Structure 1
Amino acid sequence: MHPVPFSKENALTSGYEDDPVSGHTLGTFPGYPLIPPGLDENGYIARQLDFSHIDEIAGWLWLAGWPYSIRPLHRQKTMQREVLITDSPQLHLVWRRSVIFVKPLPLFVLDHAFFENRISNSDSGLPPKVYDATLGFLLSYVKLIQCEADLKIAIDLGLFPSTCHITWKMWSLFAREVRDNVLELGLEGRWRYGELQSLRINSVYRLRHLTLKRLLPWDKTYKTALHDYFGWLLVVFVYLTVVLTSMQVVLATSAQPVTLDFQRTSFRFSVFCLVACAAALFGIGFASGAYFLWRLSENYRREMDSRRRREEYRKGSRP
């Protein structure tokens, strides 16, 4: 039996509610979800908390995000990111361009009795990783909602179940217990990291499995494919057009029946365009490469520091 990360007094909901019409108890599953065909309750719980798709490349996720880095919701807004709701666990806290996906909290993870009897109970029939995934999932929300403004944003977005009427005091007590009882250094897999960049995740997946398939699903329109995979070709094409046009001017100046001064001016301007284009390409390439290497080294440094602290945690020493 694993410990529940929050107390019964500070639980945000109770699953044993009565039907206001008939007065009879509705059941023991908080939220009373419509279980998809072919699944039982354990299968539904496992699907809601299944982060195994990203866990299989957890050792390479330092290339896609920094350890334990999750910005609160108000910070996401100031970065002009649109917070989109997703029911897919593998998309939780994955960002793409100006969008970040967040999975709403299922009602059953907020119910103390249900958490204790089903998620924490080793004999409930749930996969062992469900408990650890739930801890990481709850801790991610503690980081997403750090002030009253964050709570208001979360409620407006529908990140809490509709039956929960959460106040800032209720959330503060709940979040404090989760933060005190769930240690970051004890988390494994996907939860060693926070926000993840989707393009890097797909790139790591392709390199790891030597495939063209993507781990994360996106819209498969021609516009999206051209933007993601061939957008950089447009930039190269523009620069090459400038270069070729300049070269054409250089070659044509000597054959034009114009004055010598005009030919010299055209020649010098064409050479200037070639040099400027080459300098721009070199500057952009150098700056992009330097920034990429800096981000890569910073990610690697943080990953090594995170691994060192986790190793100290496992040995029982203070991080």
Structure 2
Amino acid sequence: MTTPTSEASPQAGSTPSCQGFPIPFTIDIFQMPSIDSPVQKPARNRDNANLHSADCGFQSLMPASSRSKSKVDDYPNMDIVERANPKEEYLRKELSVPRLNKIHNSLWFAGRPMPPRPLSYQLATGRLITVSEDIQVHMVWRPGCMFLKPVPRYLLSRQFWEAHLVCSKVRGGQGCQCHREREAANPQDPHRVCEKPELYKCAYGLLLSYTALIQYESDFHIAKYYHLLPEEVEWNTWRKLSWDLLEGSPGNLARVNKRYLFGELRASRLNKIIRFKSFSNAGAGLGGLMRGYHFEFSTYEQQIGVYLAPVAVATVYIALALAAMQVGLATNALKDDFSFNQASYGFTIFAILGPLVVLGGIFILVLVFVVFNYWSTKAYLRSRSKFYGSLGIEPSSNVAPVVVTDQQEGG
């Protein structure tokens, strides 16, 4: 077995360079036609020069569309639905996990540094498999739910890896030529280092996570039921693919993104980490403090219900304690006891005021969420209206009125 070469950290003053990682499998499930081979295109697409010829062959492996927050002209973070082109920006959005990488040193609080357990185990523990195309919540769980991102078709094509994930310009340890080209074009660009190695690590980590999730044929059938694998993948094909992906294990972990050193991560713990770090560079500011990593609630009613649950339990205990004190005060041994009378007096005041203070705190907390969501929505509406105006669209007649009734996760 071959031992993967770990990525050496550049020394001070040296020019950073990427390394050439090999394609992690030999079986080609989705073999695309050669770029040089003649392909008959529909007449309506012959004049479309926006796509590179090398990318056109991969369109059958891509999603129907892509949603992203893009900068359009002078308007940043605009939600745009556009064509899913296998460009670096799209792959970064689909595969990279920057939020988890920022809090990597705290991930031990949310999960153990070990591979995820198989899908059959997840179902046996009462976790419903929930499909999510958001890589940020892949293998994140909460009670009764495990989020998993399906394996993208393009990650099962060797030609796609050659074109977009493996740096083919590494020569004799001299570094990546695409790095040198970017440096020559703009030496001050902080992002001039080739991003293919990092995309490679994210893509390989995603595939490697599924070798742990799908170990047995029963796991494979569960994955097919939830459409976690493309329809064309069969059991024997998956066995061969897993064999290739696991070459050099566990040394192959040097070629994955550090997020995949951890398996299942608990959503509630991730929320606590993000909120705790919201005041530092690793957090997400006010948005991180309010929503955490993955906001738990869909409506304010659900949020209030969760907050009131411990209050209801505490109220039952307070009622039992007051009843016990009342019985104690009726006995000869305690009715004249000064300390017990003082304790009963203090606890009675607490039983009256405590729930009111807690309920007031819950009301204020929910009110803060209402105000935060309202102003966030209004700010986004103003920005979006200006953007629509730049497109020649009249915002007042084309933007629906905003009614803030439910929690919005994305802000």
Any gaps of 5 or more consecutive residues in structure 1?
255-262, 265-270, 272-319
Change (3 A) 1:90 1:71: same
AA aligned opposite 1:78: A
1:225 aligns with 2:303: yes
The corresponding residue for 1:248 is 326
Q: Which moved more, 1:240-249 or 1:124-133?
A: 124-133
The corresponding residue for 1:99 is 145
1:29 aligns with 2:59: yes
Q: Which one of the candidate residues 136, 150, 161 is aligned to 2:205?
A: 136
Q: Deviations over 1:245-286 (max 9, x none)?
A: 2213333x36xxxxxxxx89xxxxxx9xxxxxxxxxxxxxxx
The corresponding residue for 1:65 is 111
> Secondary structure, in 3 states, of the residue corresponding to 2:228?
coil
> Secondary structure, in 3 states, of the residue corresponding to 1:180?
coil
RMSD: 3.1
1:201 aligns with 2:246: no
Q: Deviations over 1:148-181 (max 9, x none)?
A: 111111011101124x2x2221111100110115
How many angstroms apart in 2 are the aligned matches of 1:232 and 1:69?
34
Change (3 A) 1:219 1:212: closer
How many angstroms apart in 2 are the aligned matches of 1:118 and 1:243?
67
Q: Where does 1:301-316 land on structure 2 (aligned, <5 Å)?
A: none
AA aligned opposite 1:130: L
Higher helix share: 1
1:14 aligns with 2:92: no
| Percent of aligned pairs with the same amino acid | 27
Question: Is the 1:29–1:114 contact (alpha carbons within 8 Å) kept by the matching residues of 2?
Answer: no
Q: Deviations over 1:39-89 (max 9, x none)?
A: 753222221112111111011000110112311011111112100100110
The corresponding residue for 1:4 is 23
Q: Which one of the candidate residues 191, 206, 221 is aligned to 1:152?
A: 221
1:79 aligns with 2:125: yes
Q: Which moved more, 1:221-230 or 1:149-158?
A: 221-230
Change (3 A) 1:96 1:119: same
Alignment TM-score, normalising by the size of structure 1: 0.70
Q: Deviations over 1:210-265 (max 9, x none)?
A: 434311234332343245544333322221221112213333x36xxxxxxxx89x
Q: Which one of the candidate residues 137, 157, 179 is aligned to 2:246?
A: 179
Number of aligned positions between the proteins: 252
Question: Is the 2:211–2:242 contact (alpha carbons within 8 Å) kept by the matching residues of 1?
Answer: yes
Change (3 A) 1:152 1:24: farther
The corresponding residue for 1:287 is none
AA aligned opposite 1:168: W
Higher relative contact order (CA 8 A, sep 6+): 1
Question: Is the 1:5–1:181 contact (alpha carbons within 8 Å) kept by the matching residues of 2?
Answer: no
AA aligned opposite 1:198: A
How many angstroms apart in 2 are the aligned matches of 1:167 and 1:245?
65
The corresponding residue for 2:190 is none
> Secondary structure, in 3 states, of the residue corresponding to 1:245?
helix
